[in-house]
Each structure stands twice: as structure tokens, then as C-alpha cells.
Amino acid sequence: MFFYSHLALCHPHIRDLFPISMAGQRDKFVSALGRIVASVDHAATLGPFLAHLGAGHLHFGTRPEHYPPVGESLLATLAHFEGDNWTPQLAADWLAAYQQIAAQMIDAAARASSATDTAVRDA
């Protein structure tokens, strides 16, 4: 709840991308984040999962400029709940990881969008 509250307060223009009832969305986010963290050492499974997520977010109107505010809110949430355990190094590591994940999702969305545009043009 902290994450989505932070996101909505700091970046209200993004709130419209989410459903009114956030319960299901929160569950999906936590599930995806858990899968990413658990698979961090398994690029063979993580890459396709991130590609699927990135392409899937196109249907919700997600654009590349939405990813940095989400990362900001994720780091703010982690910092809030980690308290004194949240160090500058930990923050830098999480930021680097998030930026890599976001880049893969953005790239997958761009490929999916391009493929859709080509299919429509060809039709």
C-alpha cells in the first residue's frame, strides 16, 4: 500500500493507469517482484518473464516515461520499510537492478508495439 500511495502522491498522472480497486494490482505487483528477485540469477527464465511483463503493460497504456517514477516509488518503499538497514550501497544496487529490469521491459514493449504496428500495416 505504501508503494502505490507514494506513486499516486508523487506522480498523480500515473494513478489513472491503475484500476480503482488496487487489491488485485497489489497482489500482481508483489508476485511479479517476488518472481524477479527469486530469479535474479537465472537469466534464462527471467528474460522471457520480463519480456512478457513489458509487452503486457502496453495494454494498460504504460510508456517508457512511467518506469522512472515507479522505480522511485519502489526505492522509497524499500527505504521506508528497511529503515536503518537501508544503506546508500543497497539503494544503489536496487536502483541499478530496477533500471536493468525496466530497460528489458521497455525494450520488449517496443518490440511488441513494432510487431503490432507491422501486422496492422500488413493487414
Domain, as residue range, for 75? 2-122
Specify the pLDDT at position 117.
Answer: 53
Share of the chain above pLDDT 70, in %: 93
Look at the pTM and tell me if it is higher than 0.75. yes
| Chain center to CA of 20 | 19
How many domains does the chain contain in total? 1
Residue 70 burial (CB count, 10 A): 18
pLDDT value at 69 more than 80: yes
Mean pLDDT, rounded, of the chain = 90
Report residue 21: phi and psi, to 5°.
-85, 120
pLDDT value at 123 more than 50: no
Q: What is the mean pLDDT of residues 17-46?
A: 89
Q: What is the mean pLDDT of residues 70-93?
A: 97
Q: Report the distance separating Cα 57 and Cα 60, nearest Å.
A: 5
pLDDT value at 121 more than 60: no
Rg of the chain taking only CA atoms, in angstroms: 15
45: domain CATH number?
Answer: 1.10.490.10
pLDDT value at 119 more than 70: no
Specify the pLDDT at position 122.
Answer: 46
pLDDT value at 115 more than 80: no
Q: Report the distance separating Cα 56 and Cα 84, nearest Å.
A: 36
Which residue has better confidence, 1 or 95? 95
